[in-house]
Structure formats: structure tokens, C-alpha cells
């Protein structure tokens, strides 16, 4: 059982809390001094950074939300001048506009350390060859794991996503020992590997999978089909990216690296902090971030925290797999999708007068998420010429792709054919059973 | 002549076409011609009927989307080259055809072609000037 940073990972709870308080006070001060939105919210409550004298005092501090990232887009929440920013990452917002975050040199170092702690915790060393099939780009997946792999001195195959046959051949040729990708893509790779009959040519021993919800039965399936141990990783672009929390070899929940991120569980309706062991919405406060600090950021993920020490020796608490969302966000092929984004696209493409009735249907076939959008035909959209209807269909499809970053299949359906309950159309049907 | 055609949106789903045609039958709407344009995702059913306004009303009431469109109806010889002659005239006069279909009539040795073009009125005049026969309503609809 290897540690990347044994002292920090095994601090006693009392010492850990001391570190947290010291860092929290500085983080709040830094954010208050440099981020107008946060300062205003604190002032409204009559709070000053000096009022945070204990970890419990954090409960008085106002929350922050995903919506803030849109309202202050692009750099309004940055706490450092762009001169000190080394990199940007972005992800989808609740509407068409995406959200952007920035990293200083230290932030990139923190991120690499957090994700690297996981690699060490699951037995990955500088002897390993890590195949990173997460997308590289503005998405945090690829670069996040990449930084962690470099941190521990492992060799990286930065293959990014797509082209399954080439992925498999590369893993064989380069002797990859660790696979990193979304769990659904791992399922797909496993299936292809067995179909091609090349499982015995693979040297894989373990895999790091995240960016979308997955179940224990998917874990079993991946472990069997690829002959590896499969581990879960959690993170949000807003907080830092993958590596906020990770499993160790015990596979008994994901350790949240509490010297960098302070976690709370709240009642999503009242905002009250819930007692230890409760299930509720996960809220994060960064403790060491410079460019993009987050204070009491509402993740909308519903989960439970485990405070008991882990058999691995780490004292940092563990979060269970998120059991759902307190908003309507969907994760499709690793991409965050909000129904409001689809509504916006339909409004735009239908001439702007009305939003056609629609329904999102998500399913999983052959280990890949299927994403269908049914749109009710209307007098306004219908035309005698097939071409003009097909144009609408194509426009919606193209616009969805550019807004969401993933492809959806658009189906024009009969008016009033989308199932309604109490007069309201059911917007989302998710058949995947991921929780 | 210029006649009214019903264009009906048909969702790509089992039984849709049957439901639409049964509705028309129950209301005594007589079909003179029918054409179904299909794509992978949906169909557009085009109909020439004796009571277009009534048909539209009935279909609308049961939630079916219908548009009434003006289209051309021209008599052509039911003989080799009959259709070619008309298309040739349109081509030489630079008229593009959006879609077309043809059907048999009571007129011996004749058929009727239905076509959608831009500015149907001008095209109709053009065809008459070029000596094509203008069908009467009786030729198109059975009364």
C-alpha cells in the first residue's frame, strides 16, 4: 500500500482539522479580497473573513452555484490576474453558454497531486504505462489524469477518446498497464477486446474510471472483461477536475482529499448542514486553490460521507457513489447535459416564437449511452416540402451538437404524443438505472 | 388547373397511416390520388381529395397536422412519351419541380399529373399557352 504523501494522507482527524481551518481562513480571505461576487454576498450577510474562527463558522458563509459561473463568465470569479493563469478548462453550463475555470502553476500542482495520490493508492508506480483515453482538450478528464501520471513518473499514452480498434492495438503494442476512461467506454473496450480475442495480449492490471455515474455491476463487468481491477474517481471542473475524491485499493468509497477540499453534506432544500452520516447534497470549499477558489459550492450530487478510518490507513473521509442529483442534470457519455440547454436550442431553431414540446430519452445500448430527442411536430414547423422539414431536423441536430458537445438523434413525432402527467410533459426518460 | 392538395405529417410509427386513412374513410372523404414521401424519420402524405377543407378539419381535430397546398394538375397522354413531353416543356422554361405524381382518370387515354413548383399560377398559364389540356374538376374528382 503506497502513499504519495503519507504524512498528509494519514494525518489524525484533529491535525487534519487544524490544517483545514488554517487554509480555510486564508482561502476565504483571498476570495473575499479578489472576487467581487463573493465579497458582495459576504457583505450582505455582514460577514468578514475574520469572522471565520472555526470550521463550524463556515456554515454562515453563503453558498455558490453553477449559475454563478455563467453570470460571471468568463473570468469574473477568478481570484488571480490572467498573467498568473497557466491553463483554462471548460465544461457545459446549464444553458448554451459554457463555464470556464483557470489554474495557476500551484493549482496544476495541487490537481496533479490529488489525482496522483489515487494512482499511488491503487498501486500504480513509475514502472507503469498509463493509457489515457479520456478526451484531451477543454474537458478536464484527459489532462487531469495526464498530470497525475507525470507526477508519479509513469509513462503516458495520451491517446484521447475515439477509434476503439486503434485504442486496443495501441494498448497491446505499447504494453499499457493502466487504463483511464469513462466506465461506459471501458465496458465497450472490454467487449471489443473479447470480440477480437486479444485479451491475453493485454498487460492491463487496473483502470481508473469516472466522469459519469456507474454501478457495482458495471465494475464487475469491466473487471471480468478486461481482467483488471477497476477504481472509481470523482471530480468536477468547477472544483478542480478528476481527483477531488478517489478510491483506494479497498474500494470502500472515494477518499476526499480533505487538506485541499472541505466537504459538507446539506439538505438541498433548506441549505442546513446535516449531521455526520446523513445523505444529502455534497458541497465543496477549496482550501488551497488560487485562480478559481470555490466557497461552499453546490455540486447537486446527492451522497453520503463515511468518517470511519479506512483499512488502507488514510484518515481522509470517504464519499459514497453519488446516488442522484438535486437538479435535473444528466450525464450522457461523460458530458453534462441540462434539459434547459435542449429547450434553448429548440427555441432558437424553431424561429423563436415557441418552444416545441420535447422529450429526452437516454438509454444504454452496447455499453454506449444513446441520446434521443423527440420533438413534437407543430403547424408552425410543418411544411409541405420534405426538404424544409429535414432542414429543421438537421438544424436542431447540428445546434444540439454544438451546444452540448455530443450528438443526439432527433425524431419528429406527432403532436400531443409525448406523455404528459398532470398536463406537464415528462421531459426526461432515463432508462439506464445507474443509481 | 390549380388544385388543392392536403399534406399530412405522418410520424414514423406503426399504424399512423392506417389511422389517418380510416378517419378520412369514416367521414366519406374520397381520395383521387395519394403519394407518400418517406424519409428515415417521418413521412409526408399528399392527397388529392374531393373535400379538402372538411378533411383538414377532421384530421386537425384528432391532432393530425395538415397543410393545404396549391399544386398543378395537368392532363397528359396515357401513352409512351406523355409525361416526358410535359417535363420537357417545364425544363425548357426553367421550371423546377419540387415533387410530382400521376394518376389515372375517367378520361380515356389520359392521365393526370400533379406537380409542385414555385409560382404554380404562372406555370399553369405557361402549360396552357403550350397547348396542354387543363383538367376540369370533374376529371380529377369522382362525383
User: Nearest 5°: phi and psi at A323?
Assistant: -95, 0
Confidence class for position A357, pLDDT limits 50, 70, 90: confident
Q: Out of A71-75, A196-200, B36-40, B128-132, which region has the weakest mean confidence (pLDDT)?
A: B36-40
Of A382, A393, A410, the CB nearest to B9: A382
Distance (Å, rounded) from C-alpha A408 to C-alpha A162? 17
pLDDT value at position A354?
A: 64
Are B20 and B57 in a shared domain?
yes
pLDDT in tens, A25-80: 999 999 999 999 999 999 999 999 999 999 999 999 999 999 999 999 999 999 99
Nearest CA in chain A to B65: A379
pLDDT value at position A426?
A: 78
pLDDT value at position A213?
A: 83
DSSP B78: S
Q: Which of B69, B90, B111 is the last residue of a domain?
A: B69
Distance (Å, rounded) from C-alpha A327 to C-alpha A65? 12
Confidence class for position A433, pLDDT limits 50, 70, 90: confident
Distance (Å, rounded) from C-alpha A264 to C-alpha A317? 11
pLDDT value at position A423?
A: 60
Confidence class for position A415, pLDDT limits 50, 70, 90: confident
Are B26 and B76 in a shared domain?
no
Q: Out of A69-73, A363-367, B126-130, which region has the weakest mean confidence (pLDDT)?
A: A363-367
Enumerate residues 413 to 432 of chain A having a beta carbon within 8 A of any beta carbon in chain B.
413-417
Are B78 and B132 in a shared domain?
yes
Are B6 and B50 in a shared domain?
yes
pLDDT in tens, A88-122: 999 876 666 789 999 999 999 999 999 999 999 99
Distance (Å, rounded) from C-alpha A268 to C-alpha B15? 46
Confidence class for position A336, pLDDT limits 50, 70, 90: confident
Inter-chain residue contact B11 with A413, CB threshold 8 Å: yes
pLDDT in tens, A189-241: 999 999 999 999 999 999 999 988 888 888 999 999 999 999 999 999 999 99
What is the residue range of A418's domain?
Answer: 332-430
Are B62 and B82 in a shared domain?
no
Q: What CATH number did the domain enclosing B51 receive? A: 3.30.2130.10
What is the residue range of B54's domain?
Answer: 2-69
Distance (Å, rounded) from C-alpha A29 to C-alpha A61? 12
Q: What is the DSSP string of A27-50?
A: HHHHHHHH-HHHHHHHHHTT--GG
Are A227 and A164 in a shared domain?
yes
Q: Which of A326, A347, A372 is the last residue of a domain?
A: A326
Are A256 and A341 in a shared domain?
no
Chain B residues near residue A385 by CB distance under 8 angstroms: 98-99, 116
pTM to 2 decimal places: 0.78
Are A283 and A416 in a shared domain?
no
Q: Mark A100-134 as b/e (b = at least 16 C-beta within 10 Å).
A: bbbbbeebbebbbbbbbbbbbbbbbeeebbbbbbb
Q: What is the DSSP string of A218-287?
A: HHHHHHHHHTSEEEEEEEETTTTEEEEEEE-TT-SSEEE-TTTEEEEEE-TTT-PBPPTT-EEEEEEEES
Residues 6 or more apart in contact with residue B136 via CB below 8 angstroms: B1
Q: Percentage helix, strand, coil, to 5, in chain A?
A: 35, 25, 40
In percent, the amount of chain A with pLDDT more than 90 equals 74
Chain B residues near residue A416 by CB distance under 8 angstroms: 63
User: Nearest 5°: phi and psi at A167?
Assistant: -60, -50
pLDDT value at position A96?
A: 61
Q: Considering the domain boundaries, does residue A202 fall inside one?
A: yes
Are B79 and B53 in a shared domain?
no
Q: Which of A266, A295, A326 is the last residue of a domain?
A: A326
Are B91 and B128 in a shared domain?
yes
Are A245 and A394 in a shared domain?
no
Q: Which of B46, B69, B92 is the last residue of a domain?
A: B69
Tally of domains in chain A: 2
Q: Which of A286, A303, A326 is the last residue of a domain?
A: A326
Distance (Å, rounded) from C-alpha A410 to C-alpha A394? 8
pLDDT value at position B13?
A: 86
pLDDT value at position B124?
A: 93
Are A116 and A254 in a shared domain?
yes
Q: CA A9 → CA A6, A255, B20, distances in Å?
A: 5, 10, 69
Please give the mean pLDDT across all residues of chain A. Answer: 93
Q: What is the DSSP string of A299-317?
A: EEEEEEEE-SPPTTS--S-
Q: Considering the domain boundaries, does residue A59 fall inside one?
A: no
Are B75 and B37 in a shared domain?
no
Q: Considering the domain boundaries, does residue A220 fall inside one?
A: yes
Q: Is A379 on the interface with B (CB under 8 A)?
A: yes
Are A404 and A268 in a shared domain?
no
Of A382, A390, A415, the CB nearest to B67: A382
Predicted confidence (pLDDT) at residue A373 exceeds the cutoff of 90? yes
Inter-chain residue contact B116 with A413, CB threshold 8 Å: no
Query: What is the SS3 assignment for A188?
Result: helix
Distance (Å, rounded) from C-alpha A172 to C-alpha A197? 12
pLDDT value at position B143?
A: 47
Are B47 and B30 in a shared domain?
yes
Greater confidence (A188 vs A257) lies with: A257
Are A86 and A189 in a shared domain?
yes
Are A210 and A294 in a shared domain?
yes
Q: What is the DSSP string of A392-435?
A: HHHHHHHHHHHHHSS--EEEEE-TT-S-EETTEE--EEE-S---
Inter-chain residue contact A415 with B99, CB threshold 8 Å: no
Q: What is the ipTM of this complex?
A: 0.83
Tally of domains in chain B: 2
Is residue A88 within 8 Å of A102, Cβ to Cβ? yes
Is residue A327 within 8 Å of A334, Cβ to Cβ? no
Amino acid at each position: 500500500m503506497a502513499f504519495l504523501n503519507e504524512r498528509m494522507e494519514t494525518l489524525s482527524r484533529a491535525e487534519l482539522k487544524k490544517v483545514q481551518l488554517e487554509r480555510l481562513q486564508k482561502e476565504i480571505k483571498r476570495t473575499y479580497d479578489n472576487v467581487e461576487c463573493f465579497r458582495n454576498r459576504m457583505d450582505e450577510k455582514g460577514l468578514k473573513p475574520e469572522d471565520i474562527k472555526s470550521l463550524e463558522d463556515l456554515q454562515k458563509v453563503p453558498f455558490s452555484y453553477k449559475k454563478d459561473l455563467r453570470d460571471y463568465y468568463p473570468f469574473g470569479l477568478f481570484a488571480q490576474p490572467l498573467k498568473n493563469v497557466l491553463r483554462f478548462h471548460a465544461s457545459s453550463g446549464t444553458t448554451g453558454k459554457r463555464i470556464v475555470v483557470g489554474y495557476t502553476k500551484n493549482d496544476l500542482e495541487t490537481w496533479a497531486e490529488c489525482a496522483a495520490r489515487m494512482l499511488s493508492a491503487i498501486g500504480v508506480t513509475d514502472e507503469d504505462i498509463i493509457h489515457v483515453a479520456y478526451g484531451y482538450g477543454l474537458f478536464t478528464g484527459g489532462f487531469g489524469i495526464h498530470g497525475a501520471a507525470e507526477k508519479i513518473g509513469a509513462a503516458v499514452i495520451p491517446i484521447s477518446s475515439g477509434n476503439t480498434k486503434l485504442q486496443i492495438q495501441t494498448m497491446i503494442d505499447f504494453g499499457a498497464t493502466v487504463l483511464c476512461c469513462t466506465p461506459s467506454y471501458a465496458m465497450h473496450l472490454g467487449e471489443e477486446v473479447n470480440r477480437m480475442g486479444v485479451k491475453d495480449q493485454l498487460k492491463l492490471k487496473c483502470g481508473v474510471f469516472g466522469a459519469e455515474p456507474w454501478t457495482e455491476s458495471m465494475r464487475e463487468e469491466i473487471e471480468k472483461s478486461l481482467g483488471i481491477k477497476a477504481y472509481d474517481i470523482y471530480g468536477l471542473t468547477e472544483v478542480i477536475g478528476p481527483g477531488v475524491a478517489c478510491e483506494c485499493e479497498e474500494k470502500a468509497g472515494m477518499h476526499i482529499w480533505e487538506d485541499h477540499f472541505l466537504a459538507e453534506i446539506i439538505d438541498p432544500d433548506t441549505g442546513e448542514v446535516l449531521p455526520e452520516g446523513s445523505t444529502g447534497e455534497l458541497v465543496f470549499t477549496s482550501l488551497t486553490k488560487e485562480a478559481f477558489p470555490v466557497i461552499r459550492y453546490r455540486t447537486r450530487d446527492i451522497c453520503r460521507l463515511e468518517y470511519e478510518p479506512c483499512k488502507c490507513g488514510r484518515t481522509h473521509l470517504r464519499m459514497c457513489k453519488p446516488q442522484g442529483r438535486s437538479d435535473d442534470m444528466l450525464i450522457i457519455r461523460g458530458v453534462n447535459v441540462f434539459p434547459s440547454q435542449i429547450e434553448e436550442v429548440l427555441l432558437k431553431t424553431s424561429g423563436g416564437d415557441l418552444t416545441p414540446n420535447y422529450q429526452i430519452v437516454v438509454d444504454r445500448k452496447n455499453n454506449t449511452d444513446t441520446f434521443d430527442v423527440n420533438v413534437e411536430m407543430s403547424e408552425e414547423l410543418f411544411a409541405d416540402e420534405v426538404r424544409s422539414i429535414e432542414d429543421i431536423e438537421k438544424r436542431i441536430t447540428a445546434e444540439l451538437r454544438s451546444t452540448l458537445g455530443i450528438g443526439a438523434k432527433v425524431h419528429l413525432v406527432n403532436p400531443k404524443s409525448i406523455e404528459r402527467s398532470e398536463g406537464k410533459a415528462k421531459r426526461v426518460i432515463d432508462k439506464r438505472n445507474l443509481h | 388547373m390549380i388544385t388543392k392538395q392536403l399534406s399530412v405529417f405522418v410520424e414514423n410509427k406503426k399504424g399512423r397511416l392506417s389511422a389517418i386513412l380510416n378517419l378520412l374513410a369514416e367521414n366519406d372523404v374520397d381520395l383521387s390520388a395519394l403519394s407518400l414521401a418517406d424519409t428515415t424519420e417521418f413521412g409526408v402524405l399528399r392527397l388529392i381529395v374531393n373535400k379538402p377543407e372538411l378533411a383538414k378539419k377532421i384530421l386537425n381535430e384528432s391532432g393530425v397536422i395538415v397543410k393545404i397546398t396549391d399544386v398543378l394538375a395537368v392532363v397528359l397522354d396515357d401513352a409512351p412519351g406523355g409525361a416526358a413531353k410535359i417535363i420537357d416543356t417545364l425544363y425548357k422554361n426553367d421550371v423546377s419541380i419540387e415533387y410530382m405524381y400521376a394518376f389515372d382518370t375517367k378520361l380515356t387515354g389520359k392521365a393526370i399529373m400533379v406537380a409542385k413548383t414555385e409560382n404554380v399560377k404562372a406555370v399553369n398559364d405557361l402549360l396552357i399557352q403550350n397547348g396542354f389540356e387543363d383538367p376540369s374538376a370533374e376529371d380529377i374528382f369522382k362525383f
